[in-house]
Amino acid sequence: MEHINAIPVFVTVVEQRGFAAAARQLGVSKSAVSKRVSLLEEHLGARLLHRSTRNISLTEAGELYYARAVDALAAAQEAESAVAQLQGKPKGRLKINVPMTFGRLHIAPLIPKFLKNNPEISIDMIMDDRLVDLVDGGFDLAIRGGRLQDSSLIARKIAPCRNVLAASPGYLDEFGMPENPEDLHHHNCLHYAYFSDQQEWTLEGADGPIKIEASGNFQVNNGDALTVAVLGGCGIGRLTTFAAGDYLRSGELRQVLPEYTLPTQNMYAVYPARQYLPTKTRSFIDFISSEIGGDEPYWDDGLYPSNLSTSNTR
């Protein structure tokens, strides 16, 4: 049965793209990982991996075996999850993917409490603003915002993701507060690179939606960096309230064109479709949803429906 125990080791080597990284992930020595994979290859009578001093790649046999090994491990996990649901005790390793800014501000602070309440769960959290393949990366779930594109994933809404236009008081003192959407053409507009409509801002007013081609001299693929640029007086940015809420309440940022609204999106917990959702995954989703506050997340406290109108006028 040793070759059976080697299957998850082989899958981890492929997911981590190397023996050393797999060893760190599994908490064993590199030689132990190499020995398990060699044992599996010996049992199968086929080489599964091309090895070099710097990287590895799957052979044709390895590609076939890996695809079926992943399915087999998923089936085994579903079987364990079905039993765990009866026992009602979440446990095991939970691998999650979260966006950088949202993860830093609103997921990472919740981790200590969750782990204290669930001592038999260990968390491997990967922070990345790029979309990743959950199945290929071995993730149990991911937190994603905006429009969901992969129909093979199951999604559960955890909170609305509202946006505002904001600028620093210093910038507005120097260049003036825009009085209507067209005034944005005369301002430096800063952009988040992963917005699908990054150069076009849609503002909804009393007379309907207005689309503005907003241009500026700074674009970045990280929400924290965009917020820092806006705080530093570089220009007007379209910011999420989960990133800008505290600065709007403190007056370090002012809302621009508060009588207009930007499209509201949502934050979702997404996970691969399975007959049985692992108890560890369900417990984490339930926990963060409860802590965040659902349709009225804590980061929006005091921002709606007042729209900060009194603090945004000069």
Per residue in 107-123, pLDDT tens?
999 999 999 999 999 99
Residue 185 contacts residue 199 (beta carbons within 8 Å): no
Residue 150 has pLDDT above 80, yes or no: no
Q: H or E segment at 124?
A: strand 121-127
Q: How many residues does the chain have?
A: 314
**DSSP output for 228-270:** HHHHTTS-EEEEEHHHHHHHHHHTSSEEESTTSBPPPEEEEEE
3-state secondary structure of 297: coil
**pLDDT (tens digit, 9 = 90+) per residue, 85-109?**
545 678 889 999 999 999 999 999 9
- Full strand arrangement of the beta sheet holding 236-240: 219-220, 189-192, 236-240, 163-167, 254-256
| Mean pLDDT, range 144-157, rounded to an integer | 80
| Mean pLDDT, range 5-27, rounded to an integer | 90
H helix runs in the chain, sequence order: 2-16, 19-26, 30-44, 60-87, 100-102, 111-117, 134-137, 169-175, 223-231, 241-250, 279-292
Higher pLDDT, 160 or 274: 160
What is the band of 274 on the pLDDT scale with cuts at 50, 70, 90?
A: low
Distances (CA, A) of 100 to 7, 84, 92, 142, 192: 32, 31, 24, 12, 13
Of 297, 238, 300, 244, the residue nearest 263 (C-alpha): 238
| Mean pLDDT, range 152-156, rounded to an integer | 85
pTM over 0.75: no
Of 257, 252, 220, 212, the residue nearest 233 (C-alpha): 252
Residue 307 has pLDDT above 50, yes or no: no
